[in-house]
Structures are given as C-alpha cells and as structure tokens.
Amino acid sequence: MDTTLIAALLGLLEGLTEFLPVSSTGHLLLAGHFLGFESKGKTFEVVIQLGAILALGSVYAAMVARLFLRARHDVAARRSILSVFIAFLPAVVVGLLAHGFIKTVLFETPMLIAVMLILGGFVLLVIDRIAPPAIHDDALALPLRKSLIIGLYQCLAMIPGVSRSGATIVGALLLGVEKRAAAEFSFLLSLPTMGAAVAYDLYKTRDVLDFGAVWEIAIGFAVAFVSAIVVVRWVLSYIGRNGYALFGWWRIIVGSVALLALSLGA
C-alpha cells in the first residue's frame, strides 16, 4: 500500500479514536502490525498524537482561558484547575516509573492489545447499564477525592488496549459522575496527560527521532488534527443521548477480528 495512503489512514485512526473509549494506541499498534508499518523512533506516531492534542486544545482553548482568568478571584475556578491537576498526578508517577517496561514489552504484544480491547468492551457495556445514579453533572465541580480516584483509574491505560479515556470514564461513572460530564472531564484531563506523555516521548527518543518521511508525517498530522476536532465536537452530544454501548461493541468487534487474524498468523 502507498505510504501516503497509510499515513492518512493512521492519522484518521488516531484522530477518530484518541478521545473515544476505544484505545487509540491499541488501534494504531494493531493497524501498524497488520500493515507492516513502523517509524524509526516512533516519530510518526508521536507527531500525529500531537495533532490530536492540538485539536482538543483548539476546541477547549476558550473554556480553559476563561477558567484561568477567573481563577485569580474565583475559588470555584481554582478548585476546578486543582481537580484536573490532582487527577493528572498518578499518571505522572506511574508513567515515569514504568515507561521503559510499557514501551519495550507491552507495546510489542498485539495479542495483549486484542484481548484488552475485548475485555474493555465488555466492561463498557456492563458499566453503561449498571453504573450508580449520577450525583455529579458538572465536569468542573468534582470533589478532589473523586478526581484523584479517576486519576488512578487512568493509570490502567498504561496497558495498551485499555484506553485512557475508557479507564477515566469508567472510573467516573462508578463514582456517580453523569455520562456526558464523565466524558468532558476525561477530555480536560487528557490535555495535561497527553501533552506530558508526548513531551516525554520526544525527550526520551530525541536521539533516534527520524523526520525523513516529512510528507507522510505532515499528512498524518493534518488528518489526525481535523478528524479529532470532528470527534470532540460530536461525541459529547452523542454520549449524552446514547451512552457508551456503541463503543463497547466496537471494541469487542475490533479485538475479536484482530485476535482471529493473529491466530491465523497474520
């Protein structure tokens, strides 16, 4: 397959899945495995993820700016910022301690990714039905203790195929956060989490980063940016109306197909 087409496909996959509870990393790694695609130093993967982060940042830029401006004289705004920061901290600690193991062991096992996609799909289907009644409907007003617990759930996403947004959303739903608010808090938490993860990846792989395939990287970045904007603008209203069952079934289908292909030696 033409490398430009592969770059566009992977960029689209990143943009469509990064902020959904389906595991963008799992999808990218499986797609790369089956397409025989691998970039030196993971340059391509890191850059297109940066495209998705910038897309989210552009959508939430006005909200975040207003929040920080209000924080100078508004206790509630300062508490909202602190809530996201507290949820972010566990990922920092676990990410720093386990970075080498995650990148060299877990990321190289497509079978694990497929299994986790399936298991995570069933978890989403179950939690979507049996989650306790919602007692928090504002993503910016969660109790600090619950924000910390959601941050601990986020650490489960260090396992490829689990999904960062899926882990945080499931944790939030179990803590009584309304479905739309759970997704919005996951979006806000992804800004520092993904930003730090990309920055750390760039630093750790700075000696082997390869920007030789500039055209493919640019295509992947652009497609990831545009498709991520579409998803972020659409997904909150969809979840508010329909919940998470669609994403649970999607995970199960993708994981099952990947598992079958792997068992056949693909």
pLDDT (tens digit per residue) in 51-74: 999 999 999 999 999 999 999 999
pLDDT of residue 25: 85
pLDDT of residue 4: 86
Phi-psi region of 159 (alpha: psi -120 to 50; beta: other; left: phi over 0): beta
Domain membership of residue 34 (yes or no) is no
Statement: residue 266 has pLDDT above 70: no
265 confidence band (pLDDT: 50, 70, 90): confident
Domain membership of residue 82 (yes or no) is yes
In 10 A of CB 189, how many CB atoms?
A: 25
Percent of the chain with pLDDT over 90: 68
- How far apart, in whole angstroms, are the C-alpha atoms of residue 150 and residue 133? 17
Rounded to an integer, the average pLDDT of 162-178 is: 95
Tell which wins on pLDDT, 58 or 98. 58
Range(s) of the domain holding residue 67: 3-13+22-28+40-263
Asked if residue 125 lies in contact with residue 173, where contact means CB atoms within 8 angstroms, the answer is no
The dihedral formed by the CA atoms of 224, 231, 150 and 30, expressed in degrees to the nearest 10: -50
Say how many domains are in the chain. 1
Rounded to an integer, the average pLDDT of 10-36 is: 91
Asked if residue 223 lies in contact with residue 11, where contact means CB atoms within 8 angstroms, the answer is yes
The dihedral formed by the CA atoms of 105, 263, 120 and 33, expressed in degrees to the nearest 10: 50
Kindly provide the b/e burial profile for residues 65-82, where b requires at least 16 CB atoms within 10 angstroms of the residue's own CB: eebeeebeeeeebebbbe
Show Cβ contacts of residue 226 under 8 Å, excluding neighbours closer than 6 positions.
15, 55
The dihedral formed by the CA atoms of 111, 114, 117 and 118, expressed in degrees to the nearest 10: -100
Domain membership of residue 136 (yes or no) is yes
pLDDT of residue 105: 65
Domain membership of residue 117 (yes or no) is yes
Domain membership of residue 33 (yes or no) is no
Query: What's the distance, CA 160 to chain centroid?
Result: 11
Give the tens place of pLDDT for each residue, 220-244: 999 999 999 999 999 989 998 999 9
> pTM here?
0.90
Q: Which amino acid is at 232?
A: V
97 confidence band (pLDDT: 50, 70, 90): confident
Domain membership of residue 111 (yes or no) is yes
Structure tokens that stand for 144 in this block: 């600090």
Transcribe 11-54 into DSSP letters.
HHHHHHHTTTTT-HHHHHHHHHHHHT---GGGHHHHHHHHHHHH
Domain membership of residue 170 (yes or no) is yes
Give the tens place of pLDDT for each residue, 108-167: 688 889 999 999 999 999 999 999 999 999 999 999 999 999 999 999 988 888 999 999
Domain membership of residue 188 (yes or no) is yes
pLDDT of residue 104: 67
In 10 A of CB 3, how many CB atoms?
A: 12
* Mean pLDDT score of the chain: 90
In 10 A of CB 208, how many CB atoms?
A: 10
Asked if residue 16 lies in contact with residue 246, where contact means CB atoms within 8 angstroms, the answer is no
pLDDT of residue 119: 96
Rounded to an integer, the average pLDDT of 4-23 is: 93
Structure tokens that stand for 62 in this block: 């006005």
- How far apart, in whole angstroms, are the C-alpha atoms of residue 184 and residue 173? 12
Task: Identify the CA nearest to 63 among candidates 77, 42, 73.
Answer: 77
pLDDT of residue 159: 85
